[in-house]
Amino acid sequence: MAKKPKKQQQSGGTPATVALTSAGLDFTVHAYDHDPAHPSYGEEAAEAMGVSPDRVFKTLVADVDGALTVAVVPVSGSLDLKALAAAVGGKRATMADPTLAERTTGYVRGGISPLGQRKKLPTVLDDSAKAHETICVSAGRRGLEVELAPADLAKLTGAVLAPIGRG
């Protein structure tokens, strides 16, 4: 599935798709039926879309020295909290309280997108994203993903690329 994404004009889309459309970036929206019983939102998305879990990235919110920070890592691995802290010049990172993450981003857990968040947070994208022409991230709700170039995601979110994922 390494095809070039096409621009999707969204009317009344999610804040993520609205942000992409407003920025004039190319992207493809993928919708699938979300199964609430599935143990992993990201793995479910990869399976439903028939995409390698290395190309589907999950959006996690962490607390780095008291500041909320967004980490975007492949669903095939996990987040290295020490590496995340180092990537933003911090000392210590822990996972953010889920309720605080939802309230701050404007999205529900399992549907948090790095794009179009209520409050712009520092963002770190795992540097493995550079190995792919396109990656998929949440489009802002469970069962909805957006496929785009990693460079476009980094540009729109102001993300730094760093090795923050663990395989």
4-58 pLDDT, tens per residue? Answer: 444 444 345 899 999 999 999 999 999 999 988 888 888 999 999 999 999 999 9
State the DSSP H helix or E strand holding residue 155, giving kind and residue range, or none if neither.
Answer: helix 150-157
HSE-CB of 46 using CA atoms within 13 angstroms: 17
Note the pLDDT of residue 12: 55
> What is the SS3 assignment for 145?
strand
pLDDT range class, residue 116, cuts 50, 70, 90: very high
The tens digit of pLDDT for each residue in 85-107 reads 999 999 999 999 999 999 999 99
Say what angle helices 150-157 and 15-23 make with each other, to 10 degrees: 100
> What is the SS3 assignment for 19?
helix
- Written as one string, the DSSP assignment of 41-82 is HHHHHHHHHT--TTTBEEEEEEEETTEEEEEEEETTSEE-HH
Alpha helices (H) along 74-113: 81-87, 98-105
State the DSSP H helix or E strand holding residue 153, giving kind and residue range, or none if neither.
Answer: helix 150-157
pLDDT range class, residue 3, cuts 50, 70, 90: very low
Note the pLDDT of residue 167: 81
